[in-house]
Amino acid sequence: MPLNLTGRIALVTGASRGIGAAIALALAEAGADIAVNYQNKAAQAEAVAAAVIATGRRAVTIQADVSDSAAVTAMVRHCEEKLGPVDILINNAGIGLIRGIDDLTEADFDTTIAVNLKSVFLCTQAVLPHMRARNWGRIVNISSGAARGAGGVGPHYNASKAGMEGLTRGYASRLVKQGITVNAVAPSLIETDMVRSGLAASAARIPLGRFGTAEEVAQVVLMLIGNAYMTGQTVAMSGGLAFN
């Protein structure tokens, strides 16, 4: 059955491009109104919002550093004022600073953990009161195959994504009785700016023979949102490169 999210409000972090933008549009096509969070790329965020509005849904762009607690509080409040309280949270914002072990600095490590992991905690905590009040909520965290494999970004990135999956399980176990599901999607080698900028020059080692698409990730996100029985799980996507 087609997923019907009419009347639901979704907040997608890091939604100005790539996977986040694809998820925002897919949610809108399913009927949700969308808060498009971005950090620096205002014009791209506005373009995503315009595409959402073209589907007949409402949209708002919200600039916020999701690793900063005050900014997250203000972002959620702005979403509530413009669209309504958040029913669906997609923790997608992240950075991938490609570093070798000898090049990795403390600042690189701290920034990666703050943006990729701490943000999930801050955004989740901020939207939980409304979800609990309605006894319904959906949280999907965008992880990576690097949470379980070597990856090509660096150990700081591995740690941030492994921590995200730990948060996913921890929240899921504590919120399941309140109608809130928490799951993760772990894509590997999706054709995004990170991959195109040098993470993987070729798809030759992927058994399927190509990179994944942001739209394929969005399909899995919608599947998780539509399934009330599935929680605490990480869905891997790698074109046959690795298996859970």
Q: Which ranges of the chain have pLDDT less than 70?
A: 194-201
Q: 90 — phi, psi (to 5°)?
A: -115, 110
Closest-CA residue to 187 (of 3, 19, 28): 19
What are the residue numbers of the active site?
Answer: 157
Is-contact 94 16, C-beta < 8 A?
A: no
The fold of 9-237 is Rossmann fold (3.40.50)
Please report the pLDDT score of residue 160 as a whole number: 98
- pLDDT for 168-183, tens place per residue? 999 999 999 999 999 9
Please report the pLDDT score of residue 198 as a whole number: 61
Between vectors from CA 206 to CA 202 and to CA 210, what angle results, nearest 5°?
A: 65
Structure tokens at 184: 């993760």
Please report the pLDDT score of residue 192 as a whole number: 78
Is-contact 140 185, C-beta < 8 A?
A: yes
Domain ranges of the chain: 9-237
Element (H, E) at 61: strand 59-63
Count of Cβ atoms closer than 10 Å to residue 230 Cβ: 14
Helix 214-226, helix 18-29: angle, nearest 10: 50
Helix 106-113, helix 155-175: angle, nearest 10: 30
Across 64-135, the runs of DSSP E, i.e. the strands, are: 88-91
Structure tokens at 162: 């492994």
54-58 long-range contacts, CB within 8 A, separation 24+: 55/25, 55/28, 55/29, 57/28, 57/31, 57/32, 57/33, 58/33, 58/34, 58/83
Please report the pLDDT score of residue 203 as a whole number: 84
Model pTM score = 0.95
